[in-house]
Structures are given as C-alpha cells and as structure tokens.
Homo-oligomer: A and B are copies of this chain.
C-alpha cells in the first residue's frame, strides 16, 4: 500500500486512475481545482477511509504522499485555449510546485503528451517539431518544459520521475463540453446533430481506451525514468472515425465539414515498442469498437439524466 496523490484526479483520465488505485488498496488523495474535472467523477469513493478529495490549484504549493500522478492540466484544445496564460501557469508553476516532491521524497509521474512531438509516428528519442508561438503552444510548450523540469529535478535533486507521453484517449467521464473529437462525435450522433469534421477529415489520430491507466500504474512502479509513449498504434482518419461512430450509434446524423483548425497536426500515431518491451504493456484489453460502445452507453445515460 502506497500513499498516492493524483493531481487532476477528478478529470477524465484521473478519475479512472483513481478507480484502479483505490481498487488496488492504496491511499489516494485527489487534488483538483475542478476546472474541467467534476466531483461526480469520483464521488463513489467519498467516505471511503482510503480516499481524500482536495480542492486545490496546483499553481499553489502542496506537500504530500509517496507517489504523485501529476495530471492537472486542461487537456482538450478548447479548454487549454480558453485561458492560455492559466494553462502555461498550470504546466510551469504547477509542475515546479509538484516537484517539491523532493521535500518528501515522493516519486512523480508526469502526464505528458504526444503533442511534444508534433510530427508522427516517432519513438521516444525524437526531439519534436512544434510551433512555439501558435495557438496550441500554451499546451505543447507547457508540457515540453514540464518534462525539462522533471529531468532537471531528477538530475539535480534526485527526485524520482516518470514521464508518460500519452496519446489520444477516450472513455466514460469525458466532460460533455470537453470538445475533443470522440465526445463531440458521440454526442452529435446521439442527438441527431451533424458530426463536425474540421478540415477534410483526412488527418489521422490513433485512439486508445482509457484502460491506458494500467500503463500509467505500470510505468510509475517500473524503474524506467526516461519518457515512454502510451497509446494505441491503430491509426484512422477523422472521417473514418466519424463514419464508425455514426454506424455504432446507428445515427442518421449528417457529416458536416468545417474549416480546418490552425496548426492541426496532420498525422498522429504512437510507436509503442518501448512500452511493450520495458513495461510489458499493450492497449489490447479493450478493442476500439468495444471501447466506443462503452463510451456511447455512458454518454447516452448522461443525456437521459440531463433530460
């Protein structure tokens, strides 16, 4: 049993990670400012003796725990572009604050992103090619420098760090207003609204179900301090994806083409050989269609609750 903090633990990925770690019998403290996260995502644990929920902004310091899963950061483009200054502060000051882990000897896992690369597919040695001053920069450069900070604290202060470069992930508990493609398409399909494809839809993404959290836990407890890609190498165009979701929902929605988003990466796909070899991890437990069906079920229940 470990004493574990999860920043961003009331969010999409964080709440699934909370479930897994609580189920494994650990003491879990969720640290979240509820910007995109919700108490509901973890409320089934409230009252459990191993669980604590703290309303706290990582831009302010905090001193706790054996292990810190540092997920706190807006993750969806509309969310991180809503207040780019706050996104930068969360990823810079917020990460520096969590690295004060050195004071308590905790190990920190940073939820980094495929966005640090810009160009795909890549293995973990690629340095990246991203726009430092474009609309996505608050997130991309925020995460890049957060990685730099982790390794500076590792080398200079002996803090134990783990860096997960997470690729596109979907599942239940994504926020209804999240704005990322999977929740958008599912909600649109369920409501009979047009599926909004930005650009031609020929850009690709590779989507993993949120059982990703198993990979995070394996990485945290491994001795791999260098960055590790976690994702599903199965690559699809956004248009294929729109069609797939339409057919799984059995929806009559149209597909609507909207203007391309600025600096939208044209291709994204993980090279996960390192995760396979070093962690024995692969995203095989929940295949794409099964994951999508679970997520469709989740959102249709959410819509019923709302109505």
Contact = CB atoms under 8 A, between A and B. Distances in A.
Interface stretch (A22-30, A127-135, A186-194): A127-135
Interface stretch (A13-21, A152-160, A237-245): A152-160
A127 B138 contact: no
Contacts of A157: 85
Nearest to A152: B84
Contacts of A84: 152, 155-156
Interface of A: 83-85, 88-89, 92-93, 96, 116, 118, 127-133, 137-138, 141-142, 144-145, 147-149, 151-153, 155-157, 226-227
Contact of A153 (B85, B128, B141): B85
Interface SS, A side: helix
Contacts of A116: 132
A135 to B, nearest CB: 9
* Copy count, this protein chain: 2
Contacts of A88: 96, 145, 148-149, 152
Nearest to A112: B132
Contact of A127 (B93, B130, B147, B149): B130
Q: Which 4 A-B pairs have the closest CB atoms?
A: A84-B152, A92-B92, A145-B145, A137-B148
A85, A93, A148, A227 — most chain B CB neighbours (10 Å): A148
B132 A129 contact: no
Contacts of A96: 88-89, 92-93
Contact of A132 (B83, B89, B148, B155): B148
A119 B171 CA distance: 39
A147 B116 CA distance: 16
A64 to B, nearest CB: 20
A128, A147, A227 — most chain B CB neighbours (10 Å): A128
Contacts of A144: 132, 141, 144-145
A165 to B, nearest CB: 11
Contacts of A83: 156
